[in-house]
Amino acid sequence: AQSVTQLDSQVPVFEEAPVELRCNYSSSVSVYLFWYVQYPNQGLQLLLKYLSGSTLVESINGFEAEFNKSQTSFHLRKPSVHISDTAEYFCAVRSRNDYKLSFGAGTTVTVRA
């Protein structure tokens, strides 16, 4: 079985400042890793995913995450946030040959002007 820990439940940040959302996982087998974003009153949208290959993955809206196998982490970063990045962010992990997607508790990012 795998589990996910998101180390921060709330992250307030000023517009144009950098942000990092921390995610650690535990699993006894190889995994796929995901970040989903949930904007206010909306469903979850896939932000980015790591399946294999380069350990640094990027999204189309400036987020990036790095898979660190030795530290079992998949932290999400953005160098300069916008008001529109205000949302809840979920880290998720799945074993490579299993359907079960395990989610972290979520991190709420609030961007202020």
Partner 1 sequence: NAGVTQTPKFQVLKTGQSMTLQCAQDMNHNSMYWYRQDPGMGLRLIYYSASEGTTDKGEVPNGYNVSRLNKREFSLRLESAAPSQTSVYFCASSLTSVETQYFGPGTRLLVL
Q: How far apart are alpha carbons 14 and 26 in whole angstroms?
A: 32
Among 25, 34, 67, 89, binds partner 1 (CB under 8 A): 34
Is 25 a residue that touches partner 1 (CB under 8 A)?
no
Residue closer to partner 1 (CB basis): 42 or 68: 42
**Total residues interacting with partner 1, rule: CB under 8 A:** 22
Is 44 a residue that touches partner 1 (CB under 8 A)?
yes
Phi, psi of 84 (to 5 degrees): -70, -10
Only segment of 18-26, 37-45, 56-64, 66-74 that touches partner 1 (CB under 8 A): 37-45
Q: Which element (helix H / strand E) includes 3?
A: strand 3-6
Residues 6 or more apart from 72 whose CB is under 8 A from it? 24, 25, 26, 27
First to last CA, the chain: 41
Q: How far apart are alpha carbons 8 and 61 in whole angstroms?
A: 22
Q: How far is the CB of 91 from partner 1 (least distance, A)?
A: 9
Is 42 a residue that touches partner 1 (CB under 8 A)?
yes
Applying CB under 8 A, the residues found at the interface with partner 1 are 4, 9, 34, 36, 42-46, 49, 90, 94, 96-101, 103-106
